[in-house]
Amino acid sequence: MKTTIKEVKSSRAGDSYYQIKHSSGLHIYVYPKEGYRSAYAIIGARYGSINTCFSRDGGEKITVPDGIAHYLEHKLFESAEGDAFTRYAETGASANAYTSFEKTCYLFSCTDHFDESFEILLDFVQDPYFTAQTVQKEQGIIGQEIKMYDDSPDWRVMFNMLEGMYHNHPVKIDIAGTVETIAEITAEKLYDCYNTFYNLNNMVLCVSGNVTVEQVLKTCDRMLKPSEPHTIENYFEDEPYEIVKPFVEQSFPVSMPLFNLGFKERADALMDERRLAETEILLSALASPTSALYRELMDSNLINNTFSYELFEGPGYCAVIFGGESRAPEQAAAKIRETIDRVKREGLSPEEFEIAKRAVYGDGISSLNSVSNIANMIADYHFNGNELFAAIDAVAEARKADVDRRLTEMLDTDNCTLSVIRNNG
């Protein structure tokens, strides 16, 4: 396969980047930022904690233990010669990795020695090294991480909510798994997952900042190993629309109660740029710091500046989540539900729509000033089948009638779960 390069331009942003389908099979995006000193690179696989039952190329169905994607992320940094973090220390780059529900990503940022750091990234991600001894050694380390998250009220309030919302979808299972499930992980199972999901055709590389296309491609041409594409099938049990239960509570030693209020949405397909834009504008109008709801909650001392909202979406799951600290979580949740029902009856005012639209558009444009934001957003959009500049255009072109219609399709106040963490000691 021949490498192809396409320039993607935005008249609104006054910027452009390059979309490359490399001969190895890897999708590459390069977003040069003239005048910037730093550079940022992220490579990710379309493989996360929910992908525990799958088949490859029409073969038999494989089921692996919960937490294996996160486990693989930890192990991939190691090699027979040492670990990648030691190598990054020599170049001065700041490196990290993370596993989410639907993807695993490895990244670094630097101001100098980009080529050397970039070579390290492409090297270790393509060179797995798993043995029975090294896999067993990691179980204690990740076991401690699991216990740490079990002791985190912010983590528990979210997963308690997800367990209250989802009957069957693995999004309700902790990304790191449990101490029991990671004990089932073997080197062979790690290789099964790696060979299925870490195929370059199932991955994306995004680079932004003080770089050039030629510079990135020079290293890619030398380092990337050609991959034959696989057909990957992921299997999930059917998930009802209805929640499991409307209320979940847990006691924790916290100074202020925490809450997550999750509205379970239909997840027939991932949102395109237009639906994402309409949803972001809607949520900003409902709950951003400029909204009437936010001011009312603050004036009533029902929330503080930890209050937030998000669209939580991935393969087979979708929810809108409001949350934060509150002295009276049930009252705060009731006020959010009341406001949603009222706005559904009355619609957004033209002023509320315009303020929210300008805010979301401004956030989109200003995010292009951060090299890490750029690369992370492009990677996310790639995995969701969307495009960065098209997403910005969709916000600019959104109409109030379309946002009002989204409101009728979302935020069913009879299909939500309130999760509360409070100190009952």
Domain ranges of the chain: 4-234, 247-422
On the CB side of 213, how many CA atoms lie within 13 Å of its CA? 16
- Residue 101 one-letter amino acid: F
- What is the phi/psi pair of residue 159, to 5°? -70, -30
Predicted TM-score (pTM) of the model is 0.95
Q: What does the pLDDT profile of the chain (425 residues) look like in tens digits?
A: 899 999 999 999 999 999 999 999 999 999 999 999 999 999 999 999 999 999 999 999 999 999 999 999 999 998 877 789 999 999 999 999 999 999 999 999 999 999 999 999 999 999 999 988 888 888 888 888 888 888 899 999 999 999 999 999 999 999 999 999 999 999 999 999 999 999 999 999 999 999 999 999 999 999 999 999 999 999 999 999 999 999 999 999 999 999 999 999 999 889 999 999 999 999 999 999 999 999 999 999 999 999 999 999 999 999 999 999 999 999 999 999 999 999 999 999 999 999 999 999 999 999 999 999 999 999 999 999 999 999 999 999 999 999 999 999 999 999 999 999 998 76
- Check: CB of residue 43 under 8 Å from CB of residue 95: no
- The residues that are catalytic are 73
Q: Which H helix or E strand runs over 31?
A: strand 27-32
Q: How high is the pLDDT of residue 269?
A: 82
Q: How far is Cα 110 from Cα 118, in angstroms, rounded to an integer?
A: 10
Q: What is the DSSP string of 322-349?
A: EEEE-SSHHHHHHHHHHHHHHHHHH---
Short-list 201, 181, 155, CA closest to 70: 181
pLDDT of residue 16: 97
- SS3 state of residue 365: helix
pLDDT at 421: 97
Report which of 30, 28, 5, 26 is spatially closest to residue 17, judged by C-alpha positions: 30
Q: Strands, DSSP E only, in 202-307?
A: 203-209, 232-234, 247-251, 258-264
* Number of other CB atoms surrounding residue 369 within 10 Å: 10
Calpha distance 16→297 (Å, rounded): 41
Q: Class for domain 4-234, per CATH? A: alpha beta
Confidence at residue 1, expressed as pLDDT on a 0 to 100 scale: 80
pLDDT at 134: 85
Superfamily of chain region 247-422: Metalloenzyme, LuxS/M16 peptidase-like (3.30.830.10)
What is residue 172's DSSP assignment? G
Which tokens go with 162?
């997800």
pLDDT at residue 264, as a whole number: 98
CATH topology agreement for domains 4-234 and 247-422:
yes
Distant-in-sequence, close-in-space partners of 416: CB < 8 Å, separation ≥ 6: 243, 246, 261, 262, 263, 264, 337
Cβ burial, residue 48 (10 Å; 0-12/13-18/19+): buried
Contact status, residue 173 vs residue 165, Cβ threshold 8 Å: no
* Distance from C-alpha of 177 to C-alpha of 162, rounded to nearest angstrom: 15
Please tell me the distance from the alpha carbon of residue 136 to that of residue 112, in angstroms, as a whole number. 36
